[in-house]
Chains A and B, each alone.
Chain A
Amino acid sequence: MNKQRKAVALISGGLDSMLAAKTVMDQGIHVEGINFFTGFCVEGHTHAIRDKDKAKPKRNNSLWVAEQLGIKLHIVDVIEEYKNVLINPKHGYGAHMNPCLDCKIFMVNKARQWIAENDFDFIITGEVIGQRPMSQRNATMPIVARESGADDLLLRPLCAKNLPATLPEREGWVDREKLHNITGRSRKPQMAMAEQFGFDDYAQPAGGCCFLTDKNYSAKLVDLWQAQGNKKYELDDVMLLKVGRHIRPQPNFKLIIAREEGEGRFLQGYKNEFISMNCSSHSGPLVLIDGSPSAEDLYLAAQITARFGQGRDAEQVDINVMNQDGSERMLQVKPLTKEEIPEEWYI
């Protein structure tokens, strides 16, 4: 009797990985999904911190895809290991701080380790030649296979016919003729295939599924590293870069200003780790002070805090300053005007 072959599919939550997994499942292969959480993954829930985004669906697309396909999904926390990928990318960054090629090599390598530990036979990705400018090009597809160590255990069902046959094809575990030959950035072939499979709802993340492809997010990360004098980060740093308005008046400190109630609630959770401020004479946002501010710096921070509250036009407002140990004091300040906050302070 033929052995039941098993494959693990990298499931991002987008359409391509969904179609790739389905293509192989339809050939009788047992498929399970794997999803890697780097800390930079774009999730509806992160947006859901903000009250204004509450109407948006809060589903995790990778879980949703797995459920549509009827497969198990293994979500793996790679936050610590991913630091080396982001800090020292061998193949460099893309348009922003996105190390896409190194990231893909890293994830396929992790999948290769996973199949060895779990007695699976090969790996599936939804890669398409020419789909992404950095990691999914004709020249980089073999690099991913080689440097990840997956070699010919890596099957890309959506463009397999444009690539040399992999082990699962050569061994007849999958029929190469039933795989695809999609190339380029057009989404039409994938949309047609989705229709054939009866998938009428799927995520279409513009620019990918990673915050590091975002210009504004990347600018905040670079600012963090410059301020620290090194490229280290912790998960809390990564999370806080997604939240609030960031203003750096001096190299030694910045303000993180909640833009609305949901962000304020989220920032409340960090009050034991940062000096925080809020306006007590008028309504206004919660503000965290990140860095090592002097007494003068705190006065300036209080003036900026006042600018973003309802007392912005008052002659004087009361700003409550809370230390990490819970001790409090009051500063009475005149709010800065809009013109007194230079554009370059905004990160």
Chain B
Amino acid sequence: MEKITLNARRLLCPLPVIRTQDKVKQLKAGDWLEVICTDPGVMQDIPAWCRINGHKVLETKALDHEYIIILEVGA
């Protein structure tokens, strides 16, 4: 299992979702992806994208103007 971090800071939605989607295509089922963003919209959009595409959100964190989402790639 791989754990990868994706820097999506300064990108506005939907670009963080697109970058997440593109990165997930390179990963295998069970891999973890941590996405670090500055657009608060990702807190809605990346979980929504995960739900419709069969991936699992493991954790979401809102820090000081940064938003971190950790997901597990689905089958």
Contacts and interface: CB of A to CB of B under 8 A. Distances in A.
Nearest to A236: B10
Nearest to A57: B44
A41 B13 CA distance: 10
B19 to A, nearest CB: 9
Contacts of B17: 60, 63, 75
Nearest to B17: A75
B55 to A, nearest CB: 11
Contact of A59 (B21, B39, B45, B53): B45
A45 B48 contact: no
A191 to B, nearest CB: 24
A58 interface: yes
A226 to B, nearest CB: 26
Interface string B37-56: 01111011100110111000
Contacts of A269: 9-10, 38
Contacts of A58: 13, 40-41, 43-45
B71 to A, nearest CB: 15
Interface in A1-59: 35, 37, 41, 43-46, 48-49, 58-59
Contacts of A70: 52
Interface in B1-20: 9-10, 12-15, 17-18
A74 B17 CA distance: 10
Contacts of B21: 74-75
Interface in A59-79: 59-60, 62-64, 66-67, 70-77
Nearest to A239: B12
Contacts of B15: 37, 77
Q: Interface residue tally of chain A, by bracket?
A: 20 to 34
A265 to B, nearest CB: 6
Nearest to A39: B15
A73 B49 contact: yes
A46 B44 contact: no
B20 to A, nearest CB: 10
Nearest to A71: B52
A256 B38 CA distance: 21
B9 to A, nearest CB: 8
Nearest to B45: A60
A37 B21 CA distance: 13
A48 B13 CA distance: 10
A51 B27 CA distance: 36
Contacts of A59: 41, 44-45, 48
B48 A60 contact: yes
A67 B41 contact: no
17 contacts: A35-B14, A37-B14, A45-B41, A48-B39, A49-B12, A58-B44, A59-B48, A60-B13, A60-B17, A60-B45, A63-B45, A63-B48, A63-B52, A67-B51, A75-B18, A75-B49, A77-B15
